[in-house]
Amino acid sequence: MDMVRLAVVGATGMVGRAFLRVLAERDLPMKQLYLFASSRSAGQRIDFQGQEYTIEELREDSFDRGVDIALFSAGGETSMQYAPIAAAKGCVVVDNSSAWRMHADVPLVVPEVNPEDILKHNGIIANPNCSTIQAVVALWPLHRRYRIKRIIYATYQAVAGAGMGGWRDLEEGLQGKPPKKFPHPIAGNCLPQIDVFLDNGYTKEEEKMIQETQKIMHAPDMKVTATCVRVPVFIGHSEAINVEFEEPYDMRDVIDILENAPGVRLRNDHANAVYPMPVEAADTDEVYVGRLRRDSTVESGLHLWVVADNVRKGAATNAVQIAQLLCKK
Ligand code: A2P
């Protein structure tokens, strides 16, 4: 593809706005830009690179005019309904919702890990869950060298991951107002529930991390478990990750691998209190890794602390990177 006609679906949302910021920075070869949201926002104007665009209501005929790539972040129901309509019109959808991620014929892509999977798309490519993206960017180069046997995730996830509503709950909660988006106050609190509960006692967010890690790394038998927690941080997910490798590892080699891993920044200087933090990761595209230490309770165990901007690398940046790969194809 040379010059593309691009659409953003959910352009008024937390991730939709980040799509526009990242697109402006990355100079995708674009000849047309269409912005869609719900009827509530139709007619609203948004500035992009000095030009004003009008938000249109998303409708069944929205893709009739010829759209090459559409970045979707308007919730699962919207993606479920409209992504196939867009794909049937010849558009390639990069979908940020969880609606299509586990479908067998939908690639789930993190460009630093499995860019080759993009080629297998049938009109829809799924952008993984924010917590999964940052984890696999850090773990993939280690898996290639030492083969991961088991992963235990514990996440500390920012409210931006719950969209504008999550952001407002923390902002207003800090002023003593009751929550609207979350089931409990988030200010001064931690919520060990992200998304709905499943019959097995896990939440859907935890299940997403487990299944998506296995799919992206093409490792269906890898043992993965997770506990996902919402914390009162505006932007930037943190993750305590415990990994057990098949093979013995050398800590200097692990450091060397992570220092050279695409998309990774090592922040691992204990003596100087240098470690990854959400305030440092916010507004950047990198995945920060630190607090590296051997877990000697198992044969070949490693602890990592992994932080990234969940709205950028966890959503918008990853989707735009996929769009850039599509353009190069
Ligand atoms: P709108 O602003 O018109 O409601 P967030 O996750 O930050 O809350 O953003 C959700 C995004 O998805 C918004 O841009 C929202 O538009 C959009 N959206 C929600 N429902 C629909 C729908 N049925 N059709 C199109 N866009 C939708």
Which of 71, 78, 127 is the best mutation target for the ligand 1 pocket, counting ligand atoms within 8 Å of the beta carbon and taking the most? 78
What does the DSSP assignment read for 261-278? STTEEE--BGGGTB---H
Residue 12 Cα: closest atom of ligand 1: 14
Distance CA 140, CA 147 (A): 9
In this structure, the residue with its CA closest to atom 3 of ligand 1 is 38
pLDDT single digits (tens) 188-208:
999 999 999 999 999 999 999
d(CA 123, ligand 1 centre) in Å = 22
What is the pLDDT, as a whole number, of residue 329?
78
What is the pLDDT, as a whole number, of residue 157?
98
pTM for this entry: 0.97
d(CA 37, ligand 1 centre) in Å = 5
CATH class of 131-310: alpha beta
pLDDT single digits (tens) 138-177:
999 999 999 999 999 999 999 999 999 999 999 999 999 9
pLDDT single digits (tens) 267-326:
999 999 999 999 999 999 999 999 999 999 999 999 999 999 999 999 999 999 999 999
**Residue range(s) of every CATH 3.30.360.10 domain in the chain:** 131-310
Catalytic position from the list 91, 121, 130, 228: 130
Both tokens of 102, joined, read: 């586990």
Which of 8, 14, 38, 181 is the best mutation target for the ligand 1 pocket, counting ligand atoms within 8 Å of the beta carbon and taking the most? 38
Confidence of residue 14 (pLDDT cuts 50, 70, 90): very high
In this structure, the residue with its CA closest to atom 19 of ligand 1 is 74
Query: Which residue reads 């930037």 in tokens?
Result: 236
What is the pLDDT, as a whole number, of residue 27?
80
Q: Are 311 and 14 in contact (CB under 8 A)?
A: yes
- Give backbone dihedrals phi and psi of 22, rounded to 5 degrees, phi first: -70, -40
CATH class of 4-127+315-328: alpha beta
Residue 216 to residues 101, 137, 213, 250, 298: CA-CA distances in angstroms? 10, 10, 5, 25, 25
Distance CA 151, CA 136 (A): 11
d(CA 36, ligand 1 centre) in Å = 9
Q: Based on the residue annotation, tell me whether 237 is a catalytic residue of this protein.
A: yes
Q: Based on the residue annotation, tell me whether 190 is a catalytic residue of this protein.
A: no
d(CA 77, ligand 1 centre) in Å = 10
Residue 16 Cα: closest atom of ligand 1: 14
In this structure, the residue with its CA closest to atom 14 of ligand 1 is 10
pLDDT single digits (tens) 29-38:
999 999 999 9
Confidence of residue 2 (pLDDT cuts 50, 70, 90): confident
Question: Please, what is the end-to-end C-alpha distance for the chain in angstroms?
Answer: 7
**Is 80 exceeded by the pLDDT of residue 245?**
yes
Mean pLDDT of 211-231: 98
What does the DSSP assignment read for 190-224? -BS--S-B-TTS-BHHHHHHHHHHHHHTT-TT-EE
Other beta carbons within 10 angstroms of residue 322's beta carbon come to 24
Which of 8, 9, 12, 195 is the best mutation target for the ligand 1 pocket, counting ligand atoms within 8 Å of the beta carbon and taking the most? 12
Residue 10 Cα: closest atom of ligand 1: 14
Residue 167 Cα: closest atom of ligand 1: 7
Residues near ligand 1 with C-beta < 6 Å?
Answer: 10-14, 16, 37-38, 40-41, 58, 74-75, 78, 163-165
Distance CA 302, CA 271 (A): 19
Mean pLDDT of 53-70: 98
Who's near 252: CB < 8 A, 6+ residues apart? none
**Residue range(s) of every CATH 3.40.50.720 domain in the chain:** 4-127+315-328
pLDDT single digits (tens) 41-60:
999 999 999 999 999 999 99
Nearest to 243 by CA among 307, 306, 149: 149
d(CA 9, ligand 1 centre) in Å = 8
d(CA 155, ligand 1 centre) in Å = 26
Residue 37 Cα: closest atom of ligand 1: 26
pLDDT single digits (tens) 89-101:
999 999 999 999 9
d(CA 15, ligand 1 centre) in Å = 10
Instruction: Pick left, alpha or beta for residue 76 (phi over 0 → left; psi -120 to 50 → alpha; otherwise beta).
Output: alpha
Residue 327 exposed, middle or buried by CB count within 10 Å (0-12, 13-18, 19+): middle
Distance CA 147, CA 139 (A): 10
Beta strands in the chain (DSSP E): 4-9, 30-37, 45-48, 51-54, 56-57, 69-72, 92-95, 124-126, 148-157, 223-230, 237-245, 264-266, 287-295, 301-308
